[in-house]
Amino acid sequence: MVNRADIGVIGGSGFYSLLDDAEEIQLSTPYGPPSDVVTVGRIGSRSVAFIPRHGRGHQFPPHRIPYRANLWALRSLGVRQVLAPNAVGSLRAEYGPGTIVIPDQIVDRTSGRVQTYYDAGGAVHVAFADPYCSSGREVAVAAARSGDWQTVDGGTLVVIEGPRFSTRAESQWYTANGWTIVGMTGHPEAVLARELALCYTSLALVTDLDAGVEAGEGVTHEGVMAFFAENVARMRTLVSATVEALPDKRTCECGSALDGLKLPFELP
């Protein structure tokens, strides 16, 4: 099953639907089923496949999301460019709730998550120095600024294991390291996309200042979800604008990420 969509969107917390008049597709993969049925439809002239990262009922906590199945399912439908909207906490007081960050780096602070397709059949080492698609980032930044978002071009997303939020000490440590935002789902999603030679761009909506940034009771799940719900319609508009502006033909380096490597299996 190929060429059903060329752009994939993986929706984060509170972002459970995107497409109108969409077809629902039940998919299986070598890594089990994806988080939910995949919906396929159109945004303008572009064919798009959408998966809610946590499932439509938010049944998957961040450390239990079937990341490998989600990315594999998208590629099997023909997807080659992926947008990943998600909710994050800010490690910088100047980037308050409502800021859109398009990160250019990622730090993995998770533990125990399977983060590769190539764990059998021979070693496959994929370059990951620049984890996000340069072309997708450029398009997303322009779309966010055109939509009057406070937009941060670049920055480091630190991904924690979850499902708990950070302690104040951890949060202050992340800030001291110069990192920008913190979330629970950007890894291994980004590296799995690279291992499938997919373009991957994160659209991170700041929903709160992290625990070490300001005094108070700290971050709560209810607060994050409430803020995202207030902004989800606007976020859908941003995603749609980015989808329509993505290039028809890839000229970035993402598509050649596996060139010269001996893969133990054939990709979909």
CATH number at residue 172: 3.40.50.1580
What pLDDT score was predicted for residue 2? Answer: 58
Domain membership flag for residue 2:
no
Report pTM.
0.94
Q: Which pair of tokens denotes residue 79?
A: 């997807």
21 catalytically annotated: no
Domain membership flag for residue 134:
yes
Helix (H, G, I), strand (E, B) or coil at 205: strand
Q: What is the pLDDT of residues 98-132, one digit of tens each?
A: 999 999 999 999 999 999 999 999 999 999 999 99
Cα–Cα distances (Å) from 142 to 100, 152, 241, in that order, read 11, 11, 10
Annotated catalytic residue: which of 6, 36, 108, 208? 208
Spatial CB neighbours of 237, under 8 Å, sequence gap ≥ 6:
147
Bridge partner residues of 23 (DSSP): 40
Cα–Cα distances (Å) from 230 to 59, 83, 106, 160, 255, in that order, read 21, 21, 27, 25, 36
Domain membership flag for residue 268:
no
**Closest to 161 (Cα-Cα) out of 188, 179, 181, 180:** 188
Q: What is the pLDDT of residues 181-193, one digit of tens each?
A: 999 999 999 999 9
Q: Which residue has the higher pLDDT, 164 or 2?
A: 164
Backbone φ and ψ for 32, nearest 5 degrees, come out as 90, -175
E strands, 95-169, are 100-102, 105-109, 151-153, 156-160
**Closest to 207 (Cα-Cα) out of 176, 181, 186:** 181
Domain membership flag for residue 11:
yes
Domain membership flag for residue 260:
no
Domain membership flag for residue 170:
yes
pLDDT at 45 > cutoff 80: yes
Q: Which residue has the higher pLDDT, 256 or 229?
A: 256
208 catalytically annotated: yes
- The domain of 28 spans 7-255
With beta carbons less than 8 A apart as the criterion, state whether 200 and 246 touch. Answer: no
State the total domains in the chain: 1
Annotated catalytic residue: which of 20, 130, 210, 248? 210
Domain membership flag for residue 266:
no
